[in-house]
Amino acid sequence: MLLLLLWESLSRLAILPPDAVPPVSAVLLELGRLLGSGELVGQVGLTAGRAVAGFAVGGCCGVVLGFACGVFPGFGRAMRMTVEFLRPMPSVALIPIGILFLGLGFGLCVAVAGFACSWPAYVAALAGADAAGAELRDTARVYGLGRWERIVFVRAPAALPQVMAGLRTGLAVAVAVAVTTEMAAAPDGLGSFILESSLAGRPERLYAGIVAVGLLGAGLNAAFVAGRRLVLAWTPAGGR
């Protein structure tokens, strides 16, 4: 709150250039107007759909790949060079290639966001694959559980808390990358809305779009945390 008051004061006193940093009150009024007219609601819906779809695809792929690499060491060693080549690659660098195959819009945003958010999920699942220690796995073997039963009923549940932590990070990444991709190669969505507002010299709309991105990220995070609490209700921490 103090930061917002400082922003409002500095802008009103023209210490910050009002044409670049408008007062908070002007941004909030513009945000309310855009939401009331429905103009911004549609853009939020487009970005949310792309981010969630990318998160679903990328998160699943990252979890499966990471868990498989952790459970099957031979497979992990075979994949290591490929993974370490792809993992540091900036997702936005793939936009030109994606345009060739997917064109502009939904498919491209989903693919790029999915690529970006798959790696936090991969790292978390790889670490979680060893969450069930050797003692627990040996106990399961003594009780007669086969290899696949130990994977499904021992190692997978033990990995779940770490997997959910990685997926939560991946969700935030998916939102950020979806917006970035919209700025570069989409005719609509919050990213395109923010870029067009900047080019048109309309800072109130620009900051209203940025606030909408923050609200979208916070809303998706809250929904994920609620779902995680249900999924991990059996754990001692209760999914907190």
The pLDDT of residue 239:
62
Give the separation between CA 214 and CA 167, rounded to whole angstroms. 18
Cβ–Cβ under 8 Å, residues 180 and 113: no
Residue 90 has pLDDT above 80, yes or no: yes
Give the separation between CA 57 and CA 106, rounded to whole angstroms. 13
The pLDDT of residue 145:
83
Domain ranges of the chain: 33-231
Rg of the chain (C-alpha set): 22
- Measured in whole angstroms, the distance separating CA 79 from the mean position of its chain's CA atoms is 24
The pLDDT of residue 240:
64
Q: What is the pLDDT of residues 128-178, one digit of tens each?
A: 999 888 787 878 788 788 888 898 889 999 999 999 999 999 999 999 999
Residue 10: burial class (beta carbons within 10 Å; 0-12, 13-18, 19+): middle
Q: What is the pLDDT of residues 36-85, one digit of tens each?
A: 998 899 999 999 999 999 999 999 999 999 999 999 999 999 999 999 99
Q: What angle do CA 84, 89, 91 make, to 5 degrees?
A: 135
**Mean pLDDT rounded to a whole number for the chain:** 91
Q: Which of 15-19, 87-91, 180-184 has the lowest mean pLDDT?
A: 15-19
Q: If you ran DSSP here, which 8-state letter would residue 93 be given?
A: G
Residue 6 has pLDDT above 70, yes or no: yes
CATH among 3.40.50.1820, 3.40.50.280, 3.20.20.70, 1.10.3720.10 for 33-231 = 1.10.3720.10
Q: What is the pLDDT of residues 181-221, one digit of tens each?
A: 999 988 899 999 999 999 998 999 999 999 999 999 999 99
The pLDDT of residue 23:
85
Residue 18 has pLDDT above 90, yes or no: no
